[in-house]
Amino acid sequence: QVQLVESGGGLGQSGGSLRLSCVASGVTLDHDAVGWFRQAPGKEHEGVACISNSNDITDYTDSVKGRFTISRDNGKKTVYLQMNGLKPDDTAVYYCAGAKSCAVLPTAVLQDYDYWGQGTQVTVSS
């Protein structure tokens, strides 16, 4: 059974940092691309970042470029999202998702991926 579990969310301050983790079980994560999505209250899911399953090629939506960094540790079956320079607009539930390849940002939707976790809440205060 494939399972992704996100953690690391919480309350952050504007300009501060948080690091999210996505731990996989039931899947050999190094064979899959992994993306991070977020959903703010009243809004659709938004693709934030993705890391490919080959050569660790990364992609980011424009609003987080230069602030967020996605990385992976295949030995730990974990993908990280380092979030620096937090803004109140970053407030959302963040999800990680896996698939054979990254879906194109920013139009990617969660359903472009094969499996995803339950999410972790990130709240950024001004």
Q: Is the pLDDT of residue 109 over 90?
A: no
Q: Is the pLDDT of residue 35 over 90?
A: yes
pLDDT-derived band of residue 106, with 50, 70 and 90 as boundaries?
confident
Burial of 29 (0-12, 13-18, 19+ CB in 10 A): buried
CA distance 115 to 32: 11
Amino acid making up residue 21: S
Q: Taking a C-beta distance cutoff of 8 angstroms, is the pair 96, 47 a contact?
A: no
* Intra-chain end-to-end CA distance of the chain, in Å: 40
Q: Taking a C-beta distance cutoff of 8 angstroms, is the pair 25, 81 a contact?
A: no
